[in-house]
Amino acid sequence: MGPFQPQVLSPEEIRALLTEVSNQEVEQARAHSLVPLKREILYEGVPASAVVRDTSGKEYIDCTSQAWTLSVGYCHPDVLAAVVEQMRHLTHVRYGYPTIPRIKLINRLPQLFPGDLKKVVLNNQGGGTSIEAAIKLALVNRPGASTFLVSHRGYHGSTLVTLAASHYMPGLARFPGWGLDHFVKFPYPYCYRCPIHREPRTCGLACLELVERAIRYGANTPVAGLIIEPMQGAGGQVPTPPGYLAGLKEICHRHNILLIYDEAQTAFGRVGAMSAAEYYGVAPDILVLTKGLGGGFPIGAVLAREDLKGFTLVEEHTTFGANPVAFAAALASIEVVLREDLPARARRLGERATARLRQMQEDIPLIGDVRGPGLFIGVELVEDQETKTPATERAAALVEMAMEQGVIFDLDMPDVVKGLPTRRNVVKIKPPLVITEEQLDRALDVLEGTLKQVAQFPPEMLQMIRQQMVKEAMPS
């Protein structure tokens, strides 16, 4: 009997378990789920593509890659083949044990990124756990220092510590995270809405001075690390301007602070290079990876400079943190990214898409800003090009209407002002890097059509959308 012949259940039972669901089961799960569940029940992805079907058979072009993760597309056959092969041998081992995929992944990852990032730790929990590992690594390497600098509107996860390190959304999160006293926030270099109202062409990166001040005056204990997304994802698709990261690195090193990049969203090709570190030509001391690394399987990784001290087993381990199946998926996914040259594909498709979006901007004043690079695209919607008032309600309506038409978009994180969500106005376009030109064109057609529609919505309609938004976002 082969390893895939069930011994207790019949193949039909297993198939029914995973492919059939009644309305009653759906309602019961919705009633009992402790977290809200979206309306559409996703059922199957078209292999190695940007297309997914729901249980009714409706197809969607996915411009979210399911949390910016499926860079090689849904159910990539090479990833599946690696996973199946690995499952024939082992599906779980305890954390300390090396396995063949773990060994190969520890050796492979440092080859992909600039700098001297030779040390590696892996997990199967993802970005938040990896950020916590990076924080712990900085604590190990900067004894006595326990403060971390993090940016305004950064997002690093929803564990209690990474919530504290991230943009706070009071009300939407009814707890602010733990360890708040360990994090000092500085303004992110968001040039479209410059925190110090300078002109990007002539500012000379004056905002770097704010980081100096945060170090000098913001922290009562020495700073161990500075954590930054080199291009902010959830915060609104905001790339740091040229020269910023080099300046940041100089400041960090002058103050003996470890520079930590959170490349959860930007690595493995999405920005038109293997990483934002490569794109900007500035390597960090510690690099956090997840999402696109796993080809759809749960994984996180931290890379660190070779001279940094590592962990004891007590300091860094989890029960499921050494999953050989996910590591096998990552090994295959990395090769697909490289052999298909997905960074170049992201660059080419990204340039094409942003050029079209900038053209759209000429006709549609609702588009305030179009940002790349690669397939890391943000379209910021504003009520007025001068005042840049965020078109939050129109953006929310657009996402709903596009979904009806079979295109999945998503938005940035909201600000919360006086207990109400506001400024959530950046449409994110981050499809699998294998998306075809036709699919991307179709997604942009839908975007253009819906933009034109929502631009016409009268104030009463916006008021209604706002009420609905608040109802959905806030706890009942």
Ligand X SMILES: Cc1ncc(COP(=O)(O)O)c(C=O)c1O
Burial of 419 by CB count in 10 Å (0-12 exposed, 13-18 middle, 19+ buried)?
exposed
CB-wise, 49 or 290, nearer to ligand X?
290
Q: Give me the least distance between CB of 401 and ligand X, in Å please.
A: 24
Give the binding-site size for ligand X (rule: CB under 6 A).
15
CB-wise, 287 or 465, nearer to ligand X?
287
Q: Per CB under 6 A, which region of 110-118, 127-135, 302-310, 415-423 contacts ligand X? A: 127-135
DSSP assignment of 135-176 equals HHHHHHHSTT--EEEEETT----SSHHHHHHSPP-BTTBSS-
Instruction: Check residue 270 for interaction with ligand X (CB under 6 A).
Output: no
d(CA 293, CA 434): 15
Q: Within 10 A of 215 (CB to CB), how many other CB atoms are there?
A: 21
Among 73, 115, 230, 233, binds ligand X (CB under 6 A): 233
Among 156, 185, 424, 430, binds ligand X (CB under 6 A): 156
Residue 112: which residues within 8 A CB-CB, separation 6 or more? 274, 275, 334
Q: Give me the least distance between CB of 232 and ligand X, in Å please.
A: 8
Largest CA distance in the chain: 71
CB-wise, 234 or 366, nearer to ligand X?
234
CB-wise, 125 or 354, nearer to ligand X?
125
| Cα 50 from chain centre | 17
| Strand positions, DSSP E, 390-457 | 407-408, 410-411, 415-417, 420-422, 426-429
CA distances from 337 to 71, 331, 340 (A): 8, 10, 6
CB-wise, 291 or 394, nearer to ligand X?
291
Q: Give me the least distance between CB of 154 and ligand X, in Å please.
A: 8
Helices (H), 191-273: 208-213, 244-254
Among 145, 208, 234, 440, binds ligand X (CB under 6 A): 234
Q: Say if residues 268 and 334 touch (Cβ distance below 8 Å).
A: yes
d(CA 162, CA 268): 23
Closest residue to bound ligand X by CB: 127
Q: Per CB under 6 A, which region of 229-237, 332-340, 383-391, 422-430 contacts ligand X? A: 229-237
Residue 366: which residues within 8 A CB-CB, separation 6 or more? 381, 382, 383, 391, 394, 451, 454, 455
Kindly give the pairing relationship between strand 258-262 and strand 231-232: unpaired
Q: Give me the least distance between CB of 43 and ligand X, in Å please.
A: 23
Among 73, 101, 128, 294, binds ligand X (CB under 6 A): 128
Instruction: Check residue 321 for interaction with ligand X (CB under 6 A).
Output: no
Instruction: Check residue 296 for interaction with ligand X (CB under 6 A).
Output: no
Among 45, 73, 101, 157, binds ligand X (CB under 6 A): 157
Letters for 250-269 (x = contact with ligand X by CB under 6 A, - = none) are ------------x-xx----
d(CA 476, CA 383): 30
Q: Give me the least distance between CB of 58 and ligand X, in Å please.
A: 26
d(CA 291, CA 272): 16
Q: Give me the least distance between CB of 7 and ligand X, in Å please.
A: 34
Within the chain, how many helices (H) and strands (E) appear? 15, 19
Q: Per CB under 6 A, which region of 5-13, 73-81, 152-160, 403-411 contacts ligand X? A: 152-160
Among 78, 132, 229, 285, binds ligand X (CB under 6 A): 229
Instruction: Check residue 126 for interaction with ligand X (CB under 6 A).
Output: yes
Among 73, 127, 372, 432, binds ligand X (CB under 6 A): 127
CB-wise, 146 or 265, nearer to ligand X?
265
Helices (H), 50-207: 65-68, 77-87, 100-108, 127-141, 160-165
Please give the residues from 55 up to 94 whose contact with ligand X meets the rule CB under 6 A. 67
Q: Per CB under 6 A, which region of 55-63, 228-236, 326-334, 444-452 contacts ligand X? A: 228-236
Q: Which helix (H) or strand (E) holds 42?
A: strand 42-45
d(CA 291, CA 282): 21
CB-wise, 165 or 334, nearer to ligand X?
165
| Of 146, 211, 155, residue with least CA distance to 181 | 146
Q: Give me the least distance between CB of 129 and ligand X, in Å please.
A: 6
Instruction: Check residue 290 for interaction with ligand X (CB under 6 A).
Output: yes
Q: Give me the least distance between CB of 294 and ligand X, in Å please.
A: 10
| Footprint on this chain of ligand X (rule: CB under 6 A) | 67, 126-128, 131, 155-157, 229, 233-234, 262, 264-265, 290
